Amino acid sequence: MYTKTDAIVISSMKYTDSSLIVKCFTKEYGMRSYLLQGVLSSKKTTLKMALFQPFTQLELIALNKDSGTLGRIKEAKLKRFYRSLHTNVLKSSVVMLLSEISAIVCNVEHKEPEFYRFLEEKLHFFDENEFSANFHLKFLVDMTYYLGFYPNTFDDNHQFFNVEEGIFTTIDQSKYSISGEALALFKRIIQTSYTDLESVKTNRIIRNSLLNSLLKYYEWHFPNFKRNKSLEVLQTLF
């Protein structure tokens, strides 16, 4: 039975010469994958490929099947029109990185209204406001709350952060630790709201060092986690 749900496009993959498999985080059903037959063909179709860019927010009428089975989308229309998310070069590079990470870690196949609201609201904020070079760091830190491994900030005065255990510590675990200037930035990112991210002054070297450490943090909690194709592009831009 076809039902209506809001959805955020996470990724799309070419299936045949004319079809796509699209992964969406839905408001009612969690993560779902859909087969879009003929969407890449020259024939007229009610579903347009442009609707399925990463992080596009849609209203769907879809057949949502059980886990592991591809659903079908009958109708799709924009729920929110982005002003800059896909047209600003810097923002679109961030979107590519975050959507690739989300495709790996957002694997809940049941309703998660708070997680959905987080994605919806932060993407809206990123689109409506001036570009911040710290946005992706804040987003990745905050997303760990919904994934179940948000940093324990009880002892955040310590000089190391253990990415394996998710705690601040006095013990240097070398490759398993965030320290120095990257740690100082990490603490500021945790403490700063999205609206004040521009007040966090840093440089590309420190920002990329923290980003690499955050990706290690994700790797500890998702064994199949892989570095993103868009990571190198992002690190060269800002």
Residues 224 and 144 in one domain: yes
How many structural domains does the chain have? 2
Q: Which of 62, 78, 94 is the last residue of a domain?
A: 78
Q: Is residue 203 part of a domain?
A: yes
Q: Is residue 98 part of a domain?
A: no
Residues 73 and 148 in one domain: no
Q: Under a CB-based contact definition with an 8 Å cutoff, are residues 185 and 199 in contact?
A: no
DSSP class per residue in 19-61: -EEEEEEETTTEEEEEEETTTTSSS--SS-GGGGSTT-EEEEE
Q: Which domain holds residue 35?
A: 2-78
Residue segments in the chain with a per-residue pLDDT below the cut of 50: none
pLDDT at 8: 98
DSSP helix/strand/coil, 121: helix
CA distance 30 to 127: 23
Q: Is residue 195 part of a domain?
A: yes
Domain harbouring 11, CATH code: 2.40.50.140
Q: Which two tokens stand for residue 110?
A: 């049941």
Residues 136 and 232 in one domain: yes
pLDDT tens sequence across 85-95 = 999 999 999 99
CA distance 40 to 1: 25
Residues 230 and 138 in one domain: yes
Residues 158 and 62 in one domain: no
Q: Which two tokens stand for residue 54?
A: 């990463």
pLDDT tens sequence across 58-71 = 999 999 876 668 99
Residues 74 and 11 in one domain: yes
CA distance 59 to 79: 6
Q: Which two tokens stand for residue 175?
A: 């490759």
Q: Is residue 12 part of a domain?
A: yes
Q: Which of 78, 97, 116 is the last residue of a domain?
A: 78
Q: pTM, whole model, 2 decimals?
A: 0.93
pLDDT at 225: 83
